[in-house]
Amino acid sequence: MVNTQLFQTIKGTLLPAADAQNQANAPAYAYAPRRRLAQLAATGCLNHTFYANAQTQLEAVLKLAAEVDPEFVAKTAVYARKSGHMKDMPALLAAALSVRDVQLLGRVFGRVVDNGKMLRNFVQIVRSGAVGRKSLGSRPKQLVQQWLLTASEAQLLQAAVGNEPTLADVVKMVHPKPAEAWRAAWFAWLIGRPHDEAALPHATQAFERFKRALRDGQAAEVPDVPFQMLTALQLTPAHWAAVARRGSWQMVRQNLNTFARHGVFEQPGMVDLLARKLRDRDAIARARVLPYQLLAAYKAAAEVPRDLREALQDAMETSLANVPRIDGQVVVCPDVSGSMQSPVTGHRGSATTAVRCIDVAALVAAALVRKSPRTRVLPFEQRVVKLDLNPRDPVMSNAQKLASVGGGGTCVSAPLTLLNDERAKVDVVVIVSDNESWVDTRRSGATETMRQWSLIKARCPGAKLVCIDIQPYGTTQAAERHDVMNVGGFSDAVFRAVADFASGSTDRDHWVNEIDKISLELQ
- The CATH number of whichever domain residue 436 belongs to comes to 3.40.50.410
* pLDDT value of position 12: 45
Specify the pairing of strand 27-30 against strand 475-476.
antiparallel
Asked if 431 and 469 sit in the same domain, the reply is yes
Please compute, for residue 195, the number of CA atoms within 13 A of its CA located in the half-sphere on the CB side: 21
Which residues does the chain have with pLDDT short of 50? 6-7, 12
Asked if 355 and 490 sit in the same domain, the reply is yes
Whether 145 maps to a domain, the answer reads yes
Angle between helices 88-100 and 33-43 (to 10 degrees): 140
Asked if 349 and 279 sit in the same domain, the reply is no
Closest CA to 136 of 109, 107, 163: 109
* pLDDT value of position 161: 93
Specify the pairing of strand 376-377 against strand 464-469.
unpaired
Asked if 339 and 262 sit in the same domain, the reply is no
Residue 120 carries which side chain, given as an amino acid letter? R
Whether 521 maps to a domain, the answer reads no
Cα separation, 315 vs 310, in Å, equals: 9
Mean pLDDT rounded to a whole number for the chain: 88
Whether 33 maps to a domain, the answer reads no
Domain count, the chain: 3
Helices (H), 249-305: 249-254, 256-261, 270-279, 281-286, 291-300
Asked if 265 and 304 sit in the same domain, the reply is yes
pTM of structure = 0.84
Whether 55 maps to a domain, the answer reads no
Asked if 334 and 454 sit in the same domain, the reply is yes
Closest CA to 476 of 35, 28, 41, 20: 28
* pLDDT value of position 6: 44
3-class secondary structure, 210: helix
Whether 211 maps to a domain, the answer reads no
Containing structural domain, residue 258: 226-287+289-319
Cα separation, 212 vs 483, in Å, equals: 67
Whether 45 maps to a domain, the answer reads no
Helices (H), 68-87: 70-82
Asked if 162 and 272 sit in the same domain, the reply is no
